[in-house]
Amino acid sequence: MSAPPSGPGPAPQAPGREPVRRGLPRTSRTARQHAPITATGLVVKVVLLGLVAGIAIWAAFPLIEAEHWIGLGVLVATTAGLFYLYLSRRHIPAKYLVPGTLFLIAFQVFPVLHTASTAFTNFGDGHRGSKDDAIVAVQTSSVKQVPGSTEYNLTIATTGDPATGSLTFLLSDPKTQEVFAGDADGLRKLDAADVEVSSLSGKITAADGFTLLNIGQASSRSDAITALIVPTDEGAIRSNGLTRAYEGKAIRAYDAACDCVKDSETGKTWTADEKVGSFVAADGERLAQGWKVDVGLKNFSTVLTDPNISKPFFGTLAWNFAFAIASTGFTFLLGMAIALALHSPRMKGTNFYRVLLILPYAMPSFAMLLIWRDMFNTDFGLLNNLFGLNVDWFGGNWSARIAVVLVQLWLGYPYMFLVATGALQAIPRELTEATSVDGASPWQSFRAVTLPLLLVALSPLLIASFAFNFNNVNAILFTTEGGPFAPDNPTNGATDLLITYTYRLAFGAQGAEFGLAATVSIFIFAIVATVSAISFRRTRKQEEVYS
Amino acid sequence: MRIRTAGVVAVLGLALAASGCGDSGSDKPAADESAKATGGKLVIWADDKRTAALKPFAEEFGKENGVTVEVQAVSKDLQTNFVTASQQGSGPDVVVGAHDWIGNLVQNGAIDPVQLPAEQKSGFDETAIKAVTFNGQLYGVPYATENVALIRNTELAPEAPKTIEDLVATGKKLKAEKKASEILCLQSGQNGDAYHIYPLYTSGGGYLFGTAANGDYDPKDLGVGKPESIAAFQKIAQLGEKGEGALKRSITGENSIATFTGKKCAFLVSGPWAVADAKKAGIAYDISPVPGFAGGKEAQPFVGVQAFYVAAKGKNKALAQEFVTNYVTKPELAVALYKAEPRPPALTAAFDQVKGEDADLAKFSEAGKNGQVLPAIPAMAAIWDPFGKAEAAIIGGADPAKTITAAGKTIQGQIK
């Protein structure tokens, strides 16, 4: 994955460089005046707009169901806007720009905004939902069977229509053979003469005045069954599935008056703390089920002040730059050297070599990374066995660093070779021929003519490759996993990139901490954006010199 | 203008067709599966292997009760996907997974307790019930247990070693005779493997968490970094690369079973999942408990349990409870799941049924008899990584006291 095709942004076209684009508005302007409505064009338009409407209708139902009116409004406005735009004959430039812009908003802008907003919350395991969710979870998970209470056989019945009538639990006590009917008003005993009880299952199979629901009918009213609680003196009778019921009691209950959870067995209380999104007891104990709250700049101050994060930060940052520069630089040098060699007119069989050289690029990098990891194994690895070495590759700081850069070199050079070949073919041969007429050595002509022209074309790609390698999670996680680690510091390894390091911080502790992870990714975004901005600015200057 | 109107009509027609497609696409399989189904739908999530084993039983349950049952395979990150999906309300009704998920699932409010009557509870293996009990509540219905044991090549090592020292002596002799190239295949890798080293750690006297009053693990009493853990790792260090060379970082999860089946080592510490490979390679093997250090404590492996859970935010909770408490508890299902993947069933009746056909099963179960339930508390998530790395560093020759103290500090810092 060192080659950046899947990374965000490294589109091979350098913006504004193709002559085609400059010509585009002119052709479309003429098209507006003369374009006849062709049958194909009409069909394409109808099909695409039909799809848009289809997707909109399909997306509308869940939004309506969730009563998400803002989302529905956005959906309707977008769809209406698209229809207006493509059914009218005006706004030609917008017709070209809108699809790309929509996708940009959906797949780039929205995730960035979402990440940024997550950074200000404590969103993560134990803090995913709302406070109400947490309260429900606390209460339901504390329901215990009343000690010594009866396990009833349950039949679900109704006095009305099986699909809509209000529900009653028909209960039979397997020990005393007594039968009861229970609903939200309480439990009442039934006359044994009015009901039939199966001797096999102990369940009530018929009762006067009730319509019995079979399991299929009952299961379609699952929510109502779960919600039906028959109050008793000790607690309440709840269904346990569709054929049994038990008398249970919620040990912990939420009290809105004190905004706290009380345990009726121990008398302990946990008061809601809106700052951390947890119920906290006086002794500092927290209930596991918390909720999502805004924590302001807490995550940012954690990143800056927590010694676990800030202490190894600069060392990791330095290696991160070294890794990204080395991965990009070496792959570029090797790729360009091969491209130059194959570009020489004296070279024979270039297509054959090109196919061979492109092979690493054609293989899935995930699998290749795993194979390389195994090849670096001290005792069983191919490298040590082949060369008779006994290097503990992933055990030493520098050998591990060299190993990951080597893997990147192998994975990444075909990409550089490809783009360099393309760029070389665009450089007119007359230029190099002119230098040789002037008596320049091949090296001088390469330095003075070929390389600068290559760099003009390839700089944006190199920057993209740098940005990609800066965050190349796979290259590290699939090989060294950030190791080797110093014996006294298991959180930060010698080959850790910022992104793998923060991955461990955010997901290594008690479950995922998305809030903290989002914060760190904002920091990384800032670093990469700054580096890229500076590089692009310098590239532009270079272009002005050479073009 | 005529064309324009025609276009609009066509667009609308297609739109309806397209949205109609979307709907019928999702409804169709349901309609096919049980045309007569009058009732609700039960959705079960499991991993690939178990999905295949569950399907026939789920279909039978559906047919018997006139409901639709869908078993969906989630091949990757089942736990995370389940938590995320149930938060969004698109999760299943029942999920199948390992018991050490419980802590995280409970703190996210993703599963509900299960009420099993005492007579049903007593039908299960005691350890299995203990494993799915969290905060004094039963959160899942267990169906299989698993633990590591010592698998040995009986051609190379006919006798089961009584102690680790015996094992190392035999292994060294085999290595000197060029019959094997490794003493012991116990996977570690560059970053360690807390699960596989745990028997040796307990034999050396170490522990992870103390026990709270209610029988659960107590995250406040962390054993890593305590003097006992240092003593245990000093013993482990003696087996490491700078000592006997029995534990090596070059033996990883990927190559340890293959090295054993390639007859390069006589002893393998692994679980029931390794047996299939050994059989395929035609190795004559036997299974015995992982031995401890001479004069040390018992070597206790982790015992893991696979269980069925009722999703808290499922759409059909009553049906899910019905399935989990009344249907999963049947021995037939446990036997079928055993056949899909041979792990000892947690249901005693099912275990007895398959014990006769499969001698390995009883041996694994014997090896796990003194095992410790893998902690399900959320704090356990903080253990794996630092503990494993400390293990790897110590095997590589780092100072045990310094390393394990640092690991303890890191873990402590992550436990809230």
Residues A58 and A73: their CA atoms lie apart, in Å, by: 15
3-state secondary structure of B221: strand
* Contact present, B73 and B47 (Cβ < 8 Å): yes
pLDDT tens-digit map of B325-373: 888 888 888 888 888 778 889 988 888 888 888 888 889 988 988 889 9
DSSP symbols for A148-214:
T--EEEEEEEESS-TTTSPEEEEEE-TTT--EEEEETTEEEEPPGGGEEE-TTT--EEEETT-EEP-
Mutate to test the interface with A, among B389, B391, B395, B411 (most CBs of A within 10 A): B389
Segment B331-336 long-range contacts (CB within 8 Å, at least 24 positions apart): B332/B57, B333/B57, B333/B143, B334/B143, B334/B144, B336/B53, B336/B56, B336/B57
Using CA atoms, how far apart are residues A181 and A188, in angstroms rounded to an integer? 5
CATH level 3 topology of B149-300+377-414: D-Maltodextrin-Binding Protein; domain 2 (3.40.190)
Domain B38-146+304-367, what fold? Answer: D-Maltodextrin-Binding Protein; domain 2 (3.40.190)
Task: Identify which of B322, B396, B414 has the shortest CB distance to residue A510.
Answer: B414
B117 touches chain A (CB under 8 A): yes
Query: What is the complex's ipTM, to 2 decimals?
Result: 0.76
Distance CA A491, CA A348 (A): 53
Q: Does A268 touch chain B (CB under 8 A)?
A: no
Buried b / exposed e over A187-212, threshold 16 CB at 10 Å, is beebeeeebebeeeebbbeebeebeb
Query: A195 and A206 in contact (C-beta within 8 Å)?
Result: yes
Chain A nearest C-alpha distance from B255 (Å): 9
| Domain residue spans of chain B | 38-146+304-367, 149-300+377-414
Euclidean distance between CA atoms B149 and A422, whole angstroms: 58
Whole-angstrom CA distances from B404 to A26, B111, B395 are: 72, 35, 12
Distance from CA of B250 to the nearest CA of A (A): 6
User: Which residues 124-143 of A are in CB contact (within 8 Å) with B?
Assistant: 125-126, 128-129, 133-134, 136-137, 140-143
Distance CA B327, CA B120 (A): 12
Contacts of B376 (CB under 8 A, 6+ apart): B99, B100, B101, B102, B103, B131, B134, B217
Token code pair at residue A272:
């809601």
CA atoms within 13 A on the CB side of A167: 25
Residues of chain A with CATH 1.10.3720.10: 307-546
Q: Assess contact for B287 and B149: CB atoms under 8 A.
A: yes
The Cα A219–Cα A384 span in angstroms is 63
Measure the CA–CA gap between B350 and B337, rounded to whole angstroms: 10
Q: CA A183 to CA A199: how far, in whole Å?
A: 25
Contact B415, A286 (CB under 8 A): no
A428 strand-pairing partners: none
Among the four given CATH numbers 2.60.120.620, 3.30.70.580, 2.40.430.10, 2.60.40.10, the one describing domain A145-250: 2.40.430.10
- Residues of chain A positioned with their CB less than 8 A from the CB of B416: 286, 510
Indicate the SS3 state at residue B101: helix
Partners of B321 on chain A (C-beta within 8 Å) are 239-242
Report the number of secondary-structure helices (H) and strands (E) in chain A. Answer: 21, 17
Please state, in angstroms and rounded to a whole number, the distance separating the CA atoms of residues A393 and B157: 32
| Rounded CA separation B93/A386 (Å) | 54
The Cα B391–Cα A469 span in angstroms is 31
Segment B60-104, tens digit of pLDDT: 888 888 888 999 998 888 888 899 898 888 899 999 999 988 988
Place of tokens 């979870």: A137
pTM of the entire structure?
Answer: 0.79
Task: Kindly report the CATH number that applies to the domain delimited by A307-546.
Answer: 1.10.3720.10
**Cα A62 to the center of its chain, rounded Å:** 22
In chain A, which among 271-290 make CB contacts under 8 A with chain B? Answer: 286, 288-290
CB A240 within 8 A of CB A248: no
Rounded to a whole number of angstroms, the distance from the CA of A80 to the nearest CA of chain B is 13
A173 φ, ψ (degrees, to nearest 5): -85, 115
Q: Which residues touch A281 (CB under 8 Å, ≥6 apart)?
A: A268, A269, A270, A271
Other C-beta atoms within 10 Å of A467: how many?
A: 23
Q: pLDDT 10s per residue in chain A (547 long)?
A: 344 444 343 344 444 344 444 444 444 444 445 567 788 888 998 999 999 999 999 999 988 888 889 999 999 999 999 999 988 888 888 889 999 999 999 898 999 899 999 999 989 888 888 899 899 899 888 888 888 888 888 888 888 887 788 888 988 888 888 888 888 888 888 888 888 888 777 788 888 888 888 888 888 888 888 888 888 888 888 888 888 888 888 889 898 888 999 988 888 899 999 888 999 998 888 888 899 999 989 889 988 887 777 788 888 889 999 999 999 999 999 999 999 999 888 888 888 888 888 888 888 888 899 999 989 988 888 888 888 888 888 888 899 999 999 999 999 999 999 999 999 988 888 888 888 888 888 888 888 888 988 988 898 899 899 989 998 988 998 898 888 888 777 778 899 998 888 888 777 655 688 888 888 889 888 988 898 899 888 888 777 766 5
Q: Where in chain A is the domain with CATH 2.40.430.10?
A: 145-250
Asked whether the beta carbons of A180 and A247 are under 8 A apart, the reply is no
Distances (CA, A) of B405 to A158, B203, B259, B395: 64, 19, 33, 16
